[in-house]
Chains A and B, each alone.
Chain A
Amino acid sequence: AQSVTQPDIHITVSEGASLELRCNYSYGATPYLFWYVQSPGQGLQLLLKYFSGDTLVQGIKGFEAEFKRSQSSFNLRKPSVHWSDAAEYFCAVDTYGGSQGNLIFGKGTKLSVKP
């Protein structure tokens, strides 16, 4: 069965430090890949997406992610974290190529930012 793994449940970084959140998926082909962010009590906001093409994708708020087919990974990065980045981050895959709109989510990584 398809699955998404986010190995880190909780990460704490200092403001201004770099960030990398890990995501691995299990699927035979290349799925559509997404990163969403959720602030406390809020809905999900799309940070970035990968469908095909350039494996390094840029998103909103200075985030980027790199798709590595050989590692089945789609890690999220940010060079310098801001206090407002504290939130929960979810990696998700769509294995139907957008034809059903269903997503498989990882369990999330909660990011805390130290001043």
Chain B
Amino acid sequence: NAGVTQTPKFQVLKTGQSMTLQCAQDMNHEYMSWYRQDPGMGLRLIHYSVGAGITDQGEVPNGYNVSRSTTEDFPLRLLSAAPSQTSVYFCASTGGENTEAFFGQGTRLTVV
């Protein structure tokens, strides 16, 4: 059972480039979320989804797009990368009430 899988693990982008961070879960969880982790800031919510076809913004959504076409996948898109988006990104999935979030291993993104 793989849990939550994120790819790639590391990525370097140039300013203005676009890319998609992939996240897949095999636990049939309804809820999926993206967080970014910056030193001294903890994890902050970027976007989340409560089911296929339903997404909403979190605390820091600017510069990121998401979609949820299937239960399993929740990709995060950077349309035009900026140095301020240098961070570690974590995807999580949750099965619903009285369950905890399961996290992927993270993607370390550097924008130069």
Please list the residues of chain A having a beta carbon within 8 angstroms of any beta carbon in chain B. Answer: 4, 9, 34, 36, 42-44, 46, 49, 51, 90, 92, 94, 97-108
Contacts and interface: CB of A to CB of B under 8 A. Distances in A.
Interface in B74-109: 90, 92-94, 96-106
A100 B50 contact: yes
25 contacts: A42-B106, A90-B42, A94-B101, A98-B96, A98-B97, A98-B98, A98-B99, A99-B96, A99-B97, A100-B50, A101-B32, A101-B50, A101-B92, A101-B93, A102-B31, A102-B45, A102-B48, A103-B45, A103-B92, A105-B42, A105-B44, A107-B41, A107-B42, A108-B40, A108-B42
Contacts, number: 70
Contacts of B32: 101
Interface of A is mostly: loop
A101 B31 CA distance: 6
A17 B12 CA distance: 42
A88 B44 CA distance: 16
A42 B103 CA distance: 10
B31 A107 contact: no
A44 B90 contact: yes
Interface of B is mostly: strand
B43 A51 contact: no
A107 B92 CA distance: 18
Given A99-B96, A102-B33, A90 B105 contact: no
A105 B97 contact: no
A2 B45 CA distance: 13
